[in-house]
Structure 1
Amino acid sequence: MTQKTLVLLGTKKGAFIAESDGQRKGWELKGPFCETWPMNHVVADSRTGTIYAGGGNEWFGPAVWKSTDLGKTWTHSSEGLAYETGKEPVKAVWSLAARNGSLYAGVQPAGLFRSDDGGRSWTHMEGLQNHPTRERWEPGGAGLILHSLVPHPEDEGRIWVGISAAGVFYTGDGGETWEPRNRGTRADFLPEGENYPEFGQCVHCLVMAPGTGERLYQQNHCGMYVSEDGGKEWRSIEAGLPSTFGFPAAAHPSDPDTLFLLPLNGDSAGRYVPDASAAVWRTRDAGRSWQALREGLPQKNAYFGVLRQAMATDRLEPAGVYFGTSSGSVFASADEGESWTAIAEHLPTVLSVETLVTDR
């Protein structure tokens, strides 16, 4: 069968899919799907090829959409995506992760749900909201959202989450208990002497490097970091970058030392690419040095941003890298960032980018 490469796009007006073959030279755009609901995160279960899209808002309510035929048809369910009576209602789904037959959903206000029947029904994993720090969590600019979901690839009990602006939390027992894992990450917006708190950091993106499941990378509101021990300790790797501020990070599919970033010019300077000149920054040595990759990207008058889930890699060789912009463009590289091509333009604001390589 012919190999397909799909780039899954969540936007403010539905989900879209860009499709190519294994060579990734020509692309066909399909969509919008999901009745143009806001879709914060579109992902695929690589084992089954099922595509899931999470989103909604206060008007539509939260829901997870599902396609088992690569986007031709969709269904959706919100059964169980609700907090207990008396708690603030769930407004939207912000993040999804599939692992070993289970599907996880991070929501706003920050909490975690799990489905074991392909997204038809959901169970609230109450341990996170029962954490003793919960009443002191403060929202980030987009609200109090659980936007990063990182299950361990082999250990069912281990999950990391990123919450704006509460920080990184970790469970080793399947969600019964949680602990903050923020040591070493700054919170520059707090008073001097209080800017390395136990929790309360504004994490923007959390990704796991391939390999042992212990190396994590984190783009934070206040810097770029790596951890070699599952988030117990974080070390700054922002030296050499044009800014300490940005949202997305994407790990290489097989090389734990390679990471892709798209820094922005700062939290109060417009939040667009530095000098309005687009570049993806790549490290090949786990953040000790960085290289700007610009070929094919706009180098003048580029006033777009790239949001926290809007960058991804594929599993091909060489790895493909993709990102979507606030101005509705999607750029692709089939050579690990050395050169870039626009594969879609004039879309709604791109909220997420993920990939699926399949023979279906």
Structure 2
Amino acid sequence: MKKFFLGLEDELLMVTETRNDHDSTSHLKGTQPTDLVVNHQNRNQIFCGTYGNGLWKSEDGGESWFAIGQVNNYHEPNKGKGIKSAYITSLAIDDTDGTLYVGTEPSELYYSQDGGLTFTEFKAIQNLPSKPFWQFPPRPYTNHVQSIAPSYSNNKGLNVAIEFGAFIYTTDFGQTWNDRPFLSPKDTHTLLAHSLAPGRLYAACGDGFLDSSSAYAESENDGKVWKYMSKGLEAHPYLYSMAIDPENPDDRFVSASESPMKAHFKDDEKHKRYSTIYRKIDEEPWKEISENLPVNGSFIYELATDITESGVVYAFNNHGLFRLKIENYKWERIEIEWKEKYMTQHPSFLVVTSV
């Protein structure tokens, strides 16, 4: 059986599969959840970031939550510990040792090796040459850590995407950082690594909005050298979320739209939302796979796989939750309670685990 975590604008929706149905419960109301990670060494331990309401932790599989990472108590002086920003924008957990990584707005990067009891900042990223050029287009006065991918080829390696402006990486656990390798993406929305392809990085990019040939990129050496592989995405070159089959690192899925306006904006006469999903197998061009999937009026899809299940991909946006069994090549709706208010909310993440 599955458990789904759906990030909505005003709540975390947890959907648990039962023998005959699905049970839905709402959590963290009013916090604007932004990202969520499950510790696969202990699936009851889950972390959820929020935009403006800090970092939260569950120790019972998502049934209850408590805030963590605070800098200091109200009546104590600031000791410089904890997470300084309440605006959490990205999370990741290292599968090998359980290290938790936290990215914020403005761009700061932290890690915890004790399950979130204490946090340490990677301060060296503040001195990177590209930092003065980091700028998030909707709020050009700021920027944020958009995506984090621990390396599978180097236990001290960490790969990070800043929106907008840079891909950065470290090979020595943050003692030194490498800034914007030649031809690396500048607007990576989702950065992934795969345990069966150590050293490979996958980047679903917003760069394609200005140049369709830059929509998707991969690196075979943890970001030192990048290759763009965007053929087939010309009609929808703005990419956002991504998923990879857990048993096949050459089977990739991305959510795509024509532009950020059609992916993220509210529907009006000027901008009509339209989002779809593409698949790339091996070296073949990308192909759109949207049969039975609502595309008109759709915010950009969030994608996910369950690491214990090959051949199945899940997608979620304002129209609901969907499943693709790859052998059938068409989507089916997962029947869960879907409230009218969800139809106008932008999705922020989808995480799927086995119960």
Q: CA deviation at 1:233?
A: 1.9
Of 306, 315, 319, the match for 2:300: 306
Quick one: higher RCO (CA 8 Å, sep 6+), 1 or 2? 1
**Pair 1:74 & 2:65 matched:** yes
Partner residue, 2:210? none
Partner residue, 2:352? 355
RMSD over aligned Cα, in angstroms? 3.0
Q: For structure 1, which segment, 316-325 or 106-115, has the greater mean C-alpha deviation from structure 2 after superposition? A: 316-325
Of 248, 256, 259, the match for 2:241: 248
Contact 2:241 2:254 in 1 (8 A): yes
Partner residue, 1:196? none
Contact 2:111 2:121 in 1 (8 A): yes
**Pair 1:45 & 2:34 matched:** no
Q: CA deviation at 1:224?
A: 1.3
**Pair 1:263 & 2:260 matched:** no
Answer 1 or 2: which has greater helix percent. 2
1:128-172 C-alpha deviation (Å, 9 max, x unpaired):
223233233222336511121101236331000111012211000
Contact 2:33 2:48 in 1 (8 A): yes
Contact 1:210 1:252 in 2 (8 A): no
Task: Figure out how many residues of one structure are paired with residues of the other and give that number.
Answer: 326
2 CA distance for matches of 1:163 and 1:68?
30
**What are the within-5 Å matches in structure 2 for residues 117-266 of structure 1?**
117-141=114-138, 143-153=142-152, 155-185=154-184, 201-222=186-207, 223-241=215-233, 242-266=235-259
Contact 1:80 1:123 in 2 (8 A): no
Structure 2 CA distance for partners of 1:27 and 1:66, relative to 1, 3 Å: farther
Structure 2 CA distance for partners of 1:333 and 1:37, relative to 1, 3 Å: same
1 CA distance for matches of 2:197 and 2:231?
25
1 CA distance for matches of 2:3 and 2:64?
16
Partner residue, 2:90? 95
Q: CA deviation at 1:354?
A: 1.5
Structure 2 CA distance for partners of 1:290 and 1:137, relative to 1, 3 Å: closer
Q: Percent identity?
A: 22
SS state of the match for residue 71, structure 1?
coil
Letter in 2 for 1:261: V
> What TM-score does the superposition give when structure 2 sets the normalisation length?
0.82
Letter in 2 for 1:255: N
Contact 2:298 2:319 in 1 (8 A): no
Structure 2: runs of 5+ lacking an equivalent? 73-77, 208-214
Structure 2 CA distance for partners of 1:8 and 1:319, relative to 1, 3 Å: farther
SS state of the match for residue 129, structure 1?
helix
1 CA distance for matches of 2:198 and 2:21?
33
SS state of the match for residue 103, structure 2?
strand
Contact 2:274 2:299 in 1 (8 A): no
Structure 1: runs of 5+ lacking an equivalent? 187-200
Contact 1:184 1:234 in 2 (8 A): yes
2 CA distance for matches of 1:123 and 1:66?
17
**Pair 1:107 & 2:107 matched:** no
Q: CA deviation at 1:276?
A: 6.5
Q: CA deviation at 1:39?
A: 0.7
Letter in 2 for 1:158: G
Q: CA deviation at 1:328?
A: 5.3
